[in-house]
Structure 1
């Protein structure tokens, strides 16, 4: 909260002085980065500001309920041609992860870069850095920025912020859920957001073929009693045969995190282009999975982190492994 108090006046001044504002969400976007961007776009548009959202990946269909998703472009050239004098990157530890490094570095000066995030591994890449690693989500920071800047939170802004909180706390069940998080959620409900709206879009959205794939993934579950790690694998063939995309199985890691006597949950998922994405989760007070992810070139939070490696998934006597192609 101290970070927000200190940085809010600088961010307010940057917004007021800008003619064109670009909001950047990270690649393969989730509810926190899109919710943050949606809330900021909702505010800016209410003030008739010239603004644009950019994400190198398309917005997943299940997030189309968020306001102003139609204001996003996936075109790097469109973002460059927009030539903003203020860029705000939300929920990304660095510009590479955001997928926007070439866009930002091509923008003509004068230009201000604002970095709003809650990841422990954030590199502080902005001219203005509002990074609070204690916040449960980036949208929690965005909400506090609005409040510190004296901005009334509309129902559109509220649904975006609540989406990020529900996403990153796994509906208030993850260890990162603090009293301040619940207070923030209460503020957003008072502003017009509803938990039912978000849950119906993000949680109660599984169809039969998706659940069958989940069953196949769970049938591969292995457990190491020494490390107390549970792990499983998702293959491209699983998704191709069921004709679903990889976003349909994004919740498996959080689900495994609810297993008893498990310190760490790991889901390995094959991605197009010969890459494997790993997702770590933990509820253990003494385990920091971001440190595990960093060893593999990734990063994230103490309780939720990830990495990507080239190769393919194979099962050995020791468990699931990623081997070079």
Structure 2
């Protein structure tokens, strides 16, 4: 039995994310890697407007290069809408308007946020009334970052990253993001990590299917201590990303020199996330990086997950 659908259109907003910690295990036969990660949703959002339609279509704004975001079934938001229609037996379509703010191929889960927003928007528009657990299950089929974009906040992800447990994060953390004009391919960065490990003999014995997040990371979040968190941040994909894009070394050095507590590659990169002591420090770091010619912005976390803004 479906709920009454929203009339006309539904506007949903979902956050980008940073990986405060990202440990990557070996590659398994299914092609996936075991992960242990801590996600934090930050105040940089994707907006998706779902409008009634007989067919499935998608449009994109907010990007300089329109070709960088596909508008067919390669787009996670389109796939999310069609998956929801199939799962619920909905016979119509939808037009999805994506208004993007999260960097494309920047390691911040913008495409995953679009998919999470599309699931919430279409569920409301069509009146299909799925439970949060059912939406989570559909989201997990689309990729490891999509379930987190549904929930937001701060969470530990294990398995492929889609098995989520909320992490207590006290207070607010202030970040400065430095974005790049050109993105990096997540599959290529994972492949480079595998190649590097094969050359060095790292992880010769296949690691367990589930890894663990180090206790100091969780303690720093629970204490709301940016200094402790800055010391504990880590990303296994940072080495491959920095090898692929050497300028990231310079950016990290510039941010720390400007007053950031530490800097880390977000996900598979190339976005750099600098943790700062407080909002004033973050504003100063962002201004200095901007003066140096970098594209820098001040955001904070944790923030909410995918949420209906208007209907």
Indicate the structure whose relative CO is greater, using CA pairs within 8 Å and at least 6 residues apart.
2
| Greater strand proportion | 2
TM-score normalised by the chain length of structure 2: 0.31
